[in-house]
Structure 1
Amino acid sequence: MSLHIESTDEALEELKKQRTKTLAAAISVSILGVALMGLLLYLVHIIAAIPEDPPMVAYATQEGDNPDIDTPEVTQTTQRPSSSSAAAQVKVIAAVASADVAVVNPDIDVEIPTEELSTGIDIGDGFGIGTGDGDGGGIPGIVSKRCDLNDRMKRITENGGTPQCEEAVVKSLRWLKKQQNKDGSWGGTPHNYKCSMTGLALLAYLAHCETPLSEEFGENVLKGISFLVDQGMKAPVLSLVPQRNEVSYDHAVATYALCEAYTFCKQMDIPSISNLERVVVKAVDRILDAQCPNGGWAYSYNNRINPNIDLSVTGWNVQALKAAEHGGVKPTKGEIRTALRKAAMYCRKNVMPDGKFSYKENGENPRSSLVGVGVLSLQMTGNGSDNAARKGLDWIKNNVKTLEWGKGSGTENVKSNLYMHYYCVQAAMNRGGDVWTSYNRAFRDAVLGGQKPDGSFSNNDTGYAECLSGKSKNIYRQCLATLMLETYYRFLPGTGEGTKNS
């Protein structure tokens, strides 16, 4: 029997057909494989051509109570609105601890912000309601008007100043820079009113748009703010002498400065100092809690009706509250607007028939030096057009004819009392028109003439400066004179009449 199977013709034909089908299938599979391989290579080429997004590293900020965790700062690459070199860089030291001290981080390089940073930033339309009848006053509507040199010079000349006013301010700020203590404060012994002196110095720098990002003065501003923040974290009031009656001045002036600093940091996206907002709220709460039932404030922050309530103390606390309201501070001890309304009621009780304001309500001890305090306080509370304010403005217009630096003596001398003129300059600017024109003519050249070649101002001032001595008295005088010269761009005229250079 043969081991081979004999194939029939039908079987061979069937085998041939099967081979043909197998070959066709193999060819189809091969073609499909080649096509898939080509498609895969194409996709790989497309993916490789798409640029990758740069890697992003996100840092979570630490908001708890652990001060040992360092939080990397987010820095902005912008340029600062200033007359300084655009290519310059500054060191920004940001305190980021949550402990009860302002711990300072290592220096971080950031480029100076450009003019675009301030363009269109609206910080408000002034401290008052702005009815066009003198209710305005305070930080101008657009920060760039004081931050850009060209805009600042335009504002100076439009409001009756001269280029010498700007030169004098810069010289003064450089003098103040040399007077700063190692701990960041200004002022000194014997009574250590360092908080209020530091507050005045900071107000002078901030008025010129000198912030922690400033090239020339940034470190000074930052150290000053940090000094006050540290004090605010350690004590219930911003004062190194809380046992003294004058704590109500010390705390109010320092709070005023911190509120302005807080506003600048928030509105201009400046890397903030840790605990700044916390201290600001705490400081404003203390002022609200210390207001007396009649609307005024007293020495020692005694919040009961007592013989020590006076208009001078009240004026500084009104300024602090207005700055807080303007900066959007949210206190926990009451409403700022309610407190300002009560303060206006108190101020009205101090006006005299001739336009002077009394030291205490109901006409007790009327003083020329308090006219500006009463008028500015009413303007800041939104009452710049009421009868009491108009009387005071008329007195300013009719009585301050000339201002000669260093002439006369005593608190009633209207020529050399910088305390008086610090307030009157602001009140007159807020009112605008002929009140401001006449007052500007009186004070401008006199203040410029009182500056020495080194940038300091002569020490012949009278009125309230006698309460200080030594280094603090010099700082006090310097800051008031500087703030007066900065009024041209720090405040807006309250009417559309404007002022003319004279």
Structure 2
Amino acid sequence: MSLHIESTENALAELKKQRTKTLTAAISVSFLGIALMGLLLYLVHIIVAVPEDPPMVAYATQEGDNPDIDTPEVGTGTGDGDGGGIPGIISKRCDLNDRMKRITENGGTPQCEEAVVKSLRWLKKQQNKDGSWGGAPHNYKCAMTGMALLSYLAHCETPLSEEFGETVLKGISFLVDQGMKNPVLSLVPQRNEVSYDHAVATYALCEAYTFCKQMDIPSISNLEKVVIKAVDKIVDNQNTDGGWAYNYNTKAGAHTDLSVTGWNVQALKAAEHGGIRPSKGEIRTALRKAAAYCQKCGKPDGLFTYMQKGREDAAARPSLVGVGVLSLQMCGNGSDSAARKGLDWMLKNTNQPFNWKANNTSSNLYQHYYGVQAAMNRGGDVWKAYNKAFRDSTLGAQATDGSFTPNGFPGPGGLVNSNGGSINDKIYRQCLATLMLEVYYRFLPGTGEGTRNS
């Protein structure tokens, strides 16, 4: 482990001390509660003989009546960039009873929760000694570690978690260490795909930073510094057309595409909701430019193109519909024409259960990772159709060891490209499937801004 971050062992020791203090505090509170109950009963006995004042009628406050209380629904945040609502959302997905309630209310089953836990246990066994996930042949360890961390954080697994705390801490520490040593979160900065690698890792670190800040988890050395540096990289390297290009090329005519843009938008939205302020530029300005880029990729039939009209690969692709719609929702443009048409296309074309077989495109996990989030944000018929299509098929594709069987999806457009062989393929497939099953309660740092119809 590099000297850029305090040793994982020391951090773990501090976290264990905090768990002990928390348990001691809980026991003390319990004893205090018993004492107070006894005192209350005594006072009630005395007060019975005292004449009563006229009764005062108090009406229960309806959710939303108090402007100081922010309890948004899943995937509906305010989109105003102040980070509001994070504590309430986290508490609702961290409590098992509340999580199960949200699962059932949003169309899930208890099996969804069981599958996620099995998946997280499988992922724990795949973690490398340095805290990362993934490896050869492409060495996209930063992106794979980011995907794994997002899966744990979605289930409210933090450095304080009993079963997965050490796993999460080591993953965060790995990315922070890379961020202190390198200008980007990537072990392969020379590759075009660095703009995927860095974006996914930044997305995960922004969520980790928000969790640690809002839940009073002991600070991880240099986490905030690396998060700001990583967000700076994305804001400062947005292409002139509003999207993001291979190798973060900012020149006009560079290889800018919707797939790269989608991951960078997610990272910036997570940063915005966490109250992270880059030292270069403004997140909201960058998201407005990104929205304009995504709108130009929308087609009248609801499909979205890989590159903008007039570029070398401007073909419309079903796999990019969810990317375009979710990106627009996260930018605050979920009610735009392109987003509405994309959702209409999803409703018409996602009405059959996924065929989870090798070389079958109906279970393209890259497509549906975005699609389930966009559909959940919208709610109504499009969500019901999407949920029916993916839920049971995804559950049925999980093996007894918690892994998800190969299904031939064509990859994320830059990270992995085969249908099952390398460790990157396995980790990526695992995380996409897991995040899809967590959509029922996961805090989505992006929203449809009032587009949800439940």
- Same fold (TM > 0.5): yes
**Equivalent pair of 1:145/1:152 in contact (CA under 8 Å):** yes
Q: Please say if 1:150 is aligned against 2:97.
A: yes
Partner of 1:41: none
Distance 1:198 1:404 in 2: 27
Partner of 1:432: 379
Partner of 1:302: 249
Distance 2:340 2:145 in 1: 33
Partner of 1:476: 428
| Residue 121 to residue 174, structure 1, CA distance change in 2 (3 Å) | farther
Measure how far apart 1:384 and its partner are.
Answer: 0.3
User: Pick from 352, 357, 368: which aligns with 1:421?
Assistant: 368
Measure how far apart 1:273 and its partner are.
Answer: 0.5
User: Which digits, 9 at most, give the CA deviation of each residue in 1:130-166, with x for residues without a partner?
Assistant: 59xxxxxx97952111100000000000000000000
**Equivalent pair of 1:265/1:271 in contact (CA under 8 Å):** yes
User: Pick from 215, 221, 226: which aligns with 1:279?
Assistant: 226
Measure how far apart 1:405 and its partner are.
Answer: 3.9
User: Which digits, 9 at most, give the CA deviation of each residue in 1:157-189, with x for residues without a partner?
Assistant: 000000000000000000000000000000110
| Residue 367 to residue 191, structure 1, CA distance change in 2 (3 Å) | same
Q: How does 1:350-369 map to 2 (within 5 A)?
A: 350-362=297-309, 364-369=314-319
Q: How does 1:237-316 map to 2 (within 5 A)?
A: 237-316=184-263
User: Pick from 264, 282, 290: which aligns with 1:317?
Assistant: 264
Partner of 1:391: 341
Q: Secondary structure at the match of 2:145?
A: helix
Measure how far apart 1:496 and its partner are.
Answer: 6.1
Q: Secondary structure at the match of 1:354?
A: coil
Distance 1:355 1:236 in 2: 38
Higher relative contact order (CA 8 A, sep 6+): 2
Measure how far apart 1:249 and its partner are.
Answer: 0.3
**Equivalent pair of 1:123/1:142 in contact (CA under 8 Å):** yes
Partner of 1:60: none
Distance 1:186 1:104 in 2: 16
Distance 1:181 1:348 in 2: 40
User: Rg larger in 1 or in 2?
Assistant: 1
**Amino acid corresponding to residue 382 of structure 1 in structure 2:** G
**Equivalent pair of 2:8/2:169 in contact (CA under 8 Å):** no
Q: Secondary structure at the match of 2:441?
A: helix
| Structure 1 unaligned residues grouped into runs of 5+ | 1-94, 132-137
**Equivalent pair of 2:143/2:196 in contact (CA under 8 Å):** yes
Distance 2:358 2:7 in 1: 48
User: Pick from 9, 15, 19: which aligns with 1:111?
Assistant: 19
| Residue 220 to residue 335, structure 1, CA distance change in 2 (3 Å) | same
Measure how far apart 1:310 and its partner are.
Answer: 0.0
Percent identity between the aligned chains?
Answer: 70
**Amino acid corresponding to residue 228 of structure 1 in structure 2:** L
Partner of 2:439: 487
| Residue 102 to residue 461, structure 1, CA distance change in 2 (3 Å) | farther
Q: Please say if 1:232 is aligned against 2:157.
A: no
**Amino acid corresponding to residue 206 of structure 1 in structure 2:** L
**Equivalent pair of 1:125/1:140 in contact (CA under 8 Å):** no
Measure how far apart 1:110 and its partner are.
Answer: 2.2
User: Which digits, 9 at most, give the CA deviation of each residue in 1:397-427, with x for residues without a partner?
Assistant: 00011232433637xx2x1100000000000
Measure how far apart 1:105 and its partner are.
Answer: 5.6
**Equivalent pair of 1:298/1:306 in contact (CA under 8 Å):** no
User: Pick from 330, 338, 349: which aligns with 1:380?
Assistant: 330
Distance 1:378 1:223 in 2: 33
Q: Secondary structure at the match of 1:309?
A: coil
**Amino acid corresponding to residue 220 of structure 2 in structure 1:** I
Partner of 1:17: none
Distance 1:127 1:404 in 2: 23
Measure how far apart 1:461 and its partner are.
Answer: 3.3
Distance 2:69 2:432 in 1: 27
Distance 1:126 1:164 in 2: 20
**Amino acid corresponding to residue 441 of structure 1 in structure 2:** K
Higher helix share: 2
| Structure 2 unaligned residues grouped into runs of 5+ | 27-67, 80-84
Under a length normalisation based on structure 1, what TM-score does the superposition of the two structures give? 0.74
